[in-house]
């Protein structure tokens, strides 16, 4: 059976770094196995879901290069959920409940006060037909719960966490449908995974207890509605934390739009998140085939994965320094050719900075104030400048012989006069880009001529 994974965001906001990591790992799991990666838009919450967020999710995945092999929207699948729900109801695996939120909250407080887990007491199962009819005659519409089977423990071999075991009697029967008929997450997700042939569910460890419940949903759905079918394999990865070692709200605000504004390249984000939380070294690897080949659930650890902005910046800078001209030509300032890119590239942390550095070539520049001695030196430089294959080294060699200057005294005034800066690209590469006429004019201006 081919591997099929899915990424299932709710369009109630922008993707954040945790979502991106989940999408990436599902994409890598599918790509390594030669399988399919699906996008499922979980938009059953009509009040909070927005179409612009759907568009943003697609755009962000496109920017990251995580193109799905298929897309589904839960809002288009309501009839499928209804049919499965009816089958579960007829099988006795879902039941109506009539408690209000206030009544349920009171029950939870009483249980907590007694020192017992706040598990739903299944009071609704004790109602007879007449009592249910009376509730509905009062205008109380039921919400619906999935009835867990308490007969045996829920077990699975987690791809990251290993053997897992839950006592269903210690879990609440989950609410699957609201009184207004709308769906909560749990049941539609299980229906979709079966219906779409999902073989592997890779998600955050905050879903572990959900998985225990959904395994019983899968079993019930297969028995009541779907027939012979495999339950997906599950793996739960550790959640992201910040550098300070605790969960950070800021991580929830870091999305593709924020990374783009910071000048982060998508391949830098991919290189970091691909191995974050694993035993493999995080390295500035631009070749996704290398990352995919090394992807292994067995390398994932149980400790929280630490997201570090400084590490992302370091990877981004290294990858920018590796980028060839053809990759970035459409993002460079007008007039910058391949020679210019190679001269400027080692000084960049982000591609967008190329425009600032290119102004050293095109001007204008702001020169510092020079001493009388340096002005005389720069006047000689303007007269000495001779153009050839390597004008910078020819100029500095001639000035060294003529003036006896060396080191900083030889080079710094020239760099300041030619670029207005104390540091920057290699002058041997930069001076030919500035050109003879412009270079001579800058030297002369610095000399006060």
Annotated binding site for ATP: 249
Nearest to 433 by CA among 346, 343, 350: 343
Distances 343 to 349, 352, 355, 416 between C-alpha atoms, Å: 14, 15, 13, 17
CA distance 423 to 431: 14
| Burial of 295 (C-beta count, 10 Å sphere; 0-12/13-18/19+) | buried
Bridge partner residues of 277 (DSSP): none
Which residues make Cβ contacts (< 8 Å) with residue 437, sequence separation at least 6?
A: none
Residues in the annotated binding site: 249
Nearest to 374 by CA among 400, 407, 404, 412: 412
Nearest to 175 by CA among 148, 152, 202, 153: 148
Angle (CA) 135 138 142, round 5°: 45
Q: Is 75 helix (H, G, I), strand (E, B) or coil?
A: helix
Q: Is 162 helix (H, G, I), strand (E, B) or coil?
A: strand
Distances 194 to 163, 189, 227 between C-alpha atoms, Å: 23, 9, 11
């Amino acid at each position: 059976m081919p591997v099929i994974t899915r990424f299932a965001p709710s369009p109630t906001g922008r993707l954040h770094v945790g979502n991106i990591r989940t999408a990436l790992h599902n994409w890598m799991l599918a790509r390594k196995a030669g399988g399919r990666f699906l996008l499922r838009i979980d938009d059953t919450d009509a009040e909070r879901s927005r179409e612009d967020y759907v568009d943003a999710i697609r755009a962000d995945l496109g920017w990251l290069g995580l193109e799905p092999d298929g897309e589904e929207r839960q809002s288009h699948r309501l009839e499928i959920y209804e049919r499965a729900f009816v089958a579960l109801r007829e099988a006795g695996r879902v039941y109506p409940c009539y408690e209000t939120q206030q009544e349920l909250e009171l029950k939870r407080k009483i249980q907590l006060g007694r020192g017992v887990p706040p598990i739903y007491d299944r009071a609704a199962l004790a109602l007879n037909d007449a009592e249910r009819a009376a509730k509905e005659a009062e205008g109380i519409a039921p919400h619906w719960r999935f009835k867990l089977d308490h007969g045996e423990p829920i077990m699975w071999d987690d791809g990251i966490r290993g053997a897992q075991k839950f006592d269903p009697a210690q879990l609440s029967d989950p609410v699957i449908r609201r009184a207004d008929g709308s769906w909560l997450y749990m049941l539609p997700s299980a229906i979709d995974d079966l219906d779409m042939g999902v073989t592997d569910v890779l998600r955050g460890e905050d879903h572990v207890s959900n998985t225990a419940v959904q395994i019983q949903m899968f079993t019930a759905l297969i028995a009541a509605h779907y027939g012979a079918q495999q339950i997906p394999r599950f793996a739960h990865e550790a959640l992201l934390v910040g550098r300070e070692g605790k969960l950070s709200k800021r991580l929830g605000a870091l999305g593709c739009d924020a990374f783009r504004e910071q000048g982060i390249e998508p391949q830098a984000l991919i290189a970091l998140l691909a191995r974050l939380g694993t035993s493999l070294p995080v390295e500035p690897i631009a070749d996704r085939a290398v990352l995919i080949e090394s992807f292994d659930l067995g390398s994932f650890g149980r400790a929280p994965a630490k997201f570090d902005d400084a590490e992302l910046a370091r990877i981004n800078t290294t990858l920018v320094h590796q980028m060839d001209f053809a990759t970035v030509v459409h993002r460079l300032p007008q007039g910058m050719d391949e020679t210019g890119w190679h001269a400027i590239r080692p000084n960049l942390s982000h591609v967008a900075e190329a425009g600032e550095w290119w102004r050293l070539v095109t001007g204008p520049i702001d020169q510092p104030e020079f001493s009388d001695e340096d002005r005389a030196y720069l006047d000689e430089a303007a007269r000495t400048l001779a153009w050839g294959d390597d004008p910078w080294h020819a100029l500095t060699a001639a000035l060294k012989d003529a003036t006896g200057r060396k080191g900083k005294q030889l080079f710094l005034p020239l760099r300041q006069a030619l670029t207005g800066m104390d540091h920057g690209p290699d002058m041997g590469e930069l001076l030919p880009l500035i050109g003879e006429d412009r270079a001579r004019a800058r030297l002369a201006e610095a000399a006060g001529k």
